[in-house]
Chains A and B, each alone.
Chain A
Amino acid sequence: MTDRISLIHERLQSALAPESIDIVDESAKHAGHAGARSGGGHFIVDIVATAFEGKNLIQRHRLVYDALGDAMQTEIHALSIRAHTPDEAKAAS
């Protein structure tokens, strides 16, 4: 399972050069439900990057999905994305 986290981490790191990435594996919570049969994991990604500046939610999520590429089809069943710019992250903390 940690392999999947490093894979997600690496791809996001190289595509978006984020200030911070936090990935939580929630797969265990969802094991066995009908939608999880394919075997992919459930993850939450909290990511702060200047790449999100001036982009709406759908554009930010697309950047993350694009960075993950084929891993979205094979390794990841579900992904919750919290994508913020450094300024937003500062305002929230």
Chain B
Amino acid sequence: MDVMDRIKETVESHPIVIFMKGTPQMPMCGYSSRTAQVLQACDVDFAHVNVLADPEIFENLPRFANWPTFPQVYVNGELIGGHDITVEMFQKGELKPLLQEAAGKAANG
């Protein structure tokens, strides 16, 4: 499958997905680490893709949503932002309801 189709399928098949350096358990970058932490703090299940383990995605993800850096967080197939935006939304109390609604929708079919 073409890498752009692979990315598209990934963001569309998971209500919440983070593309990050490393994994939530073993992050390889401070920005990825903190972003994964705020997702975890929202008490929702989320998928992750380790871009360091998938060079093709690492190379092409910045083109996918015209966003040059990692991590990237997608909710319901849409990019919500990278580290700064995700953390800022969390601090403002906007992230948790957004993620819980996305996760709830998925659970209810």
Chain A interface residues toward B at CB < 8 A? 30, 33-35, 57-58, 61-62, 65, 72-73, 78-82
Cα distance, A79 to B29, chains bound together (Å): 13
Closest CB in chain B relative to A26 CB, distance in Å: 10
CA distance A15 to B18 in the complex (A): 30
Q: Known: A30-B30, A35-B28, A57-B88. Is A72-B81 also a contact (CB below 8 A)?
A: no
In the complex, how many angstroms separate the beta carbon of A65 from the nearest chain B beta carbon? 5
User: In the complex the two chains form, what is the Cα distance from A58 to B74 in whole Å?
Assistant: 12
A interface, over-half SS: helix
In the complex formed, the residue of B with least CB distance to A29 is: B30
Q: Assess whether B28 is in contact with A57, with CB atoms less than 8 Å apart.
A: no
A23→B94 CA distance, assembly (Å): 27
Q: Chain A residues near B52 (CB, 8 Å)?
A: 34
Excluding A34-B28, A35-B29, 17 further A-B contacts by CB distance (< 8 Å) are A33-B29, A35-B21, A57-B85, A58-B79, A58-B80, A58-B81, A58-B85, A61-B84, A61-B85, A62-B66, A65-B66, A65-B68, A72-B68, A78-B29, A78-B69, A80-B84, A82-B84
Shortest Cβ distance from B89 into A: residue: A57
User: How many contacting A-B pairs (Cβ < 8 A)?
Assistant: 42
A48 to B27, CA, bound (A): 32
Interface size on B, residues (CB 8 A): 21
In the assembled complex, which residues on chain B have CB atoms less than 8 Å from the CB atom of A79? 69
4 residue pairs, one from A and one from B, having the closest CB atoms: A35-B29, A72-B68, A57-B85, A34-B28
Contact partner, B83, options A30, A72, A80, Cβ 8 Å: A80
Complex-state Cα separation, A65 to B69, whole angstroms: 9
Interfacial chain B residues near A62, Cβ < 8 Å: 66-67
CA distance A35 to B35 in the complex (A): 15
B31 contacts the other chain (CB 8 A): yes
Q: Provide the residues of chain B in CB contact with A34, threshold 8 Å.
A: 21-22, 28-29, 52
